[in-house]
Structure 1
């Protein structure tokens, strides 16, 4: 007898990893990592625990996959010749500037580090790498805009953004990022100004 799985069984297993990751993304984002159990994940993704563990070694592995899945949609865009770099810098403070198509509660990376407190662990390392890349991309935009110290401006805007997102979550509104945008505009204009106070021309 052949050990080859039947066509029906192959069809039933198809897309299981994607369903598990989709369910994890929705549940981890809405209610947190620790509040989401494996039974809930298997039910939401319509798979057995055996199937779930065939794709992910455990919950920590699933958390890492969830964070990797979010990364590109939550990073600022690269400098573009078709857009004003100043506006690209400020766009991170606009509602729904990212490309993730579901509501976020705070920063998923900060939330994960709080819920999985292992300073030398993979979640911490992944979150740190994301935050570093976030600031690096802002620095690249600041450089294109003509900032005198693009690295410093990138770090300041990243810090301001993180604080605003945290306050948004606490107060369950977006007022903090709206106010942060005005503060950011002042920081950007100051960084782009010549010593005499006029704005530095954007490099060609």
Structure 2
């Protein structure tokens, strides 16, 4: 007799509508106003769910915060991977990431980097939320390093950190100054970074 996988009920394959409302409500409030500022009672009220429903999906606020950050990471990772996939050259991929960051800075309701904002609220390196932030950061640095190693292997780690620091500065400046000007300045900085490190790549040996 052929083996059959156990049947899965629709409720097990699709996220609960209540859970989605809780997460989208928390995402909006956490990003716009800060994490510590938002209490569970407000999130429950604005998501229009019961307290029992909240605790059925999230054992506590910390679990909701972690889920929020993981969702932001998922969206950013998807956008960056798509940008890289659309540009076959490593330099093109790096500039595509810069374009993604520049568009983010100019997006409606922009309030900086969700992860840097959260890091300011969770400075304890041992806290699960802080560790989640570091995991996202490491993924971003690894992604940049992989591309930069194909541009100039000897300086890929330093260049990845340089790119990330330019990105962080642009994210902060985008909340204070003209977002379009900040985005263009950031793009120019990354173009210069990629060009300088590309010039350090050893020449291919003559055939």
Match of 2:196 in 1: 190
- TM-superposition CA deviations, 1:145-182 (whole Å, max 9, x none): 45542222212101111111011123363432321221
Q: Which moved more, 1:57-66 or 1:176-185?
A: 176-185
Match of 2:91 in 1: 86
Structure 1 gap segments, 5+ residues each: 1-12
Cα 1:194–1:59 shift into 2, 3 Å: closer
Equivalences for residues 3-152 of structure 1 within 5 A: 14-75=16-77, 76-77=80-81, 79-80=84-85, 82-94=87-99, 95-96=102-103, 103-152=109-158
Match of 2:174 in 1: 168
TM-score by length of 1: 0.78
Cα 1:65–1:42 shift into 2, 3 Å: same
RMSD value, Cα: 2.7
Structure 2 gap segments, 5+ residues each: 1-14
- TM-superposition CA deviations, 1:72-112 (whole Å, max 9, x none): 222332754853321321233323369xx974411111111
Give secondary structure in 2 for the equivalent of 1:33: coil
Cα 1:102–1:82 shift into 2, 3 Å: same
Give secondary structure in 2 for the equivalent of 1:149: helix
Number of paired residues? 184
Between the aligned partners of 2:110 and 2:123, the Cα distance in structure 1 is 21
Q: Which moved more, 1:40-49 or 1:78-87?
A: 78-87
Between the aligned partners of 1:73 and 1:14, the Cα distance in structure 2 is 19
1:157 pairs with one of 150, 154, 163: 163
Match of 2:11 in 1: none
Q: Give 1:137 shift.
A: 0.3
Between the aligned partners of 1:59 and 1:139, the Cα distance in structure 2 is 34
Are the aligned partners of 1:193 and 1:200 in contact in 2 as well (CA < 8 Å)?
no
Between the aligned partners of 2:151 and 2:175, the Cα distance in structure 1 is 31
